[in-house]
Amino acid sequence: MATAASATALRRLYLSAYNWVVFFGWAQVMCYAASALLESGHEAVYAAVERPLQFAQTAAFMEILHSILGFVRSPISTTLPQITGRLYITWGILWSFHEAQSHILLTSLIISWSITEVIRYFFFGMKETFGVAPYWLLWLRYSTFLVFYPTGIVSEVGLILVAMPFMKTSRKYFMMPNKWNFSFNYHYELTLVTALIIPGFPYLFRYMVAKRKKVLSAAKTA
């Protein structure tokens, strides 16, 4: 019994630390983006947020492990595509192709991601640290995605399309010739990813809408 209680306490301590660290990472992204946008325009946003964005988004890989290990109740079927998709955009598009970094869609992407994630990690940080979060924060956590999830997806797909012509001309990540005679065409692979993102959006959006209804209804009757 004591061992189980200790394990639970350690899990909560770890999740509390994780959520607060990533919260501050996304808060940096949001503040730096707003400052760059107001002072220098959308072309300066990526340079201002690159490092904290890469840190905060890459740290989210741990959430796949959290789901697999049962640290959280989020199903792997929704966690895996969301995290891997964002990692793909962060490293496979934004970091890899400078042409996408100065596009206006980069700004809408950063705004959508950062507002959503600041609220989400603040909510879970409060829950893990204090065992409770105020209703207004709960409502924001399960409502802002109604706006920012669609704008984020549109921005992601748009940035992929922006990068595609430069993939062909630069031949970046085209792995031929090589000693294994293994062919990899990044342009075709990215086309496949885009084709998966679009039909995946309704599934994830319906899941989040259903979860919102369930969570908010439970909070009102509590």
Q: Which residues are designated catalytic? A: 149, 156
The two structure tokens encoding residue 114: 């950062």
Q: Residue-wise over 108-147: b if at least 16 C-beta within 10 A, else e?
A: bbbbbbbbbbbbbbbbbbbbbbeeebeeeebebbbebbee
Instruction: Note the Cα 108 to chain centre separation in Å.
Output: 14
**Where in the chain does DSSP place strands (E)?**
none
CA–CA distance, 132 with 176 (Å, rounded to integer):
54
User: Per the omega criterion (within 30 degrees of 0), is the bond before 177 cis?
Assistant: yes
